[in-house]
Structure 1
Amino acid sequence: MDEFWVFGYGSLMWNPGFPFEEKLTARAFGYRRSLCVHSWVHRGTERRPGLVLGLDYGGSCIGTAFRIAPAERAGVIDYLRERELVTHVYKERTMPVQLMNGRRVPALAYVVDRTHPQYAGARTAAEAAAVVAGAVGKSGPNSEYVLNTLAHLQELGIRDHWLEEVAAELPIGAAVSVRA
C-alpha cells in the first residue's frame, strides 16, 4: 500500500488530533495560507463572523506533512472529515507536497471552496485584523486563534509575513498569545 500523508497549514499543524508516524515540514504549491473563511461557530457567529485559515489559490504554503500508518488511514480520514467538513466550506483534495528532504508525496489536504457562502475572499492585513479583533465563537476569541497559530508557526520555524502583519494590526490587548 502507498504511503498516506496529511498536509496541515493551520491548527492541524500543532493540534492534529490523530496518530501519526512521522511529521515533516512540507510545502504545497499553487495554494497559500489565508484568513479567507468566515467562522460562524468556533471563532465567530453568523451575526459577527470571525476569520479562520484556508488554503486558497495562488503562491505556496509551508506547513506540516504527517505520515499515517496504514492501519490508521481509515480512522484518520473519518476524523478529518468530521473536523474539516462540518459546513463544507473546504474541499477534500489529494495534492503533491514537497517534504523538507526534497521528496514529493501526495497528501490529503483541505482547500477552501470559493463558491461557499463562508468564503471571505482576499483582504488586506488591516481588514482581516478588524474582523478578527471583534469576533468570538464557542472556541474563544478569534484573535486568540490567529495569535496562537502564528506562535506555533514561529516555533516550527515557519514565517508567514501576511499573518504577522494581521497580528501586528490587532489591538494591544489581543497581543497576549494563549496556547492550546
Structure 2
Amino acid sequence: MQPFTQDLWVFGYGSLMWRPGFEFEERREARLYGYHRGFCVYSHVHRGTPEKPGLVFGLDRGGACRGAAFRVTAEKATETYAYLQAREQVTSVYLDVLRPVKLLDTGARVTALCFIVDRAHAQYAGKLGFEDQARLISEGQGQSGANLDYLKGTVEHLREMGIRDAHLEALWHAVSQRLP
C-alpha cells in the first residue's frame, strides 16, 4: 500500500466489528458486494495452533457481506495499517485490498481496506461441512483465546446490528452443546 494522504476506511466483518483495536473517527454499518463472510480459514495463531487449528472468518468470493466500516483519519492511517498488518497478516492468509463498500445509512460508497482470503494459501479451508466447523470451533484455542469466544462475540455483535445469521446461530448452538 502507498503512504496514506487521506482518511482510511477499514471494513470489519468478524472480530474487527466488535474489537477493532484502533482509533477511529466514525463507525458505520456497511455492505461489501462480491464477497461473503465464511468460516474458511484455519487459524494457527489467534484461535488455534498448527497442530490443533481453530477456524476463523475470511471474506470469500461470492454474495455480499454486511459489516462495519471504520473511518480512520489520515494522520492515524499509517499507524492503523501497520497495526492491522500485525494483527491480521500473522501468517499472510489474507490479501489486503481496497474495495468499494456501501454505507447503509446514506447509500454512499467509500473505498475501504478489506482482508480477503487468499484461496491459494495453505490455511484456506474452503467450504467445510457443518460438523467439521463445529468441531474445529469447539476445540480451537490460540493466542487470542478460545475459538468459541470468537464465534460468540461475532454472533452477539451481529444480533446487536439486527442481523440474524441462521447458519452462525445454528453453529453457535451446536458448539455450545459441546461445552462441558
**TM-score, normalised via structure 1 length:** 0.91
Which residue in the other structure is 1:36 paired with? 40
Instruction: State whether structure 2 residue 99 is matched by structure 1 residue 95.
Output: yes
Aligned partners of 1:29 and 1:174: how far apart in 2?
Answer: 35
- List gaps (5 residues or longer) in structure 2: none
Aligned partners of 1:38 and 1:161: how far apart in 2?
Answer: 22
Instruction: State whether structure 2 residue 124 is matched by structure 1 residue 119.
Output: yes
Aligned length, in residue pairs: 175
- List gaps (5 residues or longer) in structure 1: 176-180
Alignment of 1:71-90 (within 5 A): 71-90=75-94
1:91 match: secondary structure? strand
Any runs of at least 4 consecutive aligned residues in structure 1 with deviations exceeding 3 A, and if so which? none
Which residue in the other structure is 2:50 paired with? 46
Instruction: State whether structure 2 residue 86 is matched by structure 1 residue 70.
Output: no
Percentage of matched positions with identical amino acids: 47
Aligned partners of 1:127 and 1:87: how far apart in 2?
Answer: 22
- Cα contact 1:125–1:165 (8 A) shared by 2: no
- Cα contact 2:99–2:113 (8 A) shared by 1: yes
Alignment of 1:1-180 (within 5 A): 2-100=6-104, 101-172=106-177, 174=179
**Mean Cα deviation higher: 123-132 or 100-109:** 123-132
1:130 match: secondary structure? helix
Paired amino acid for 2:40: C
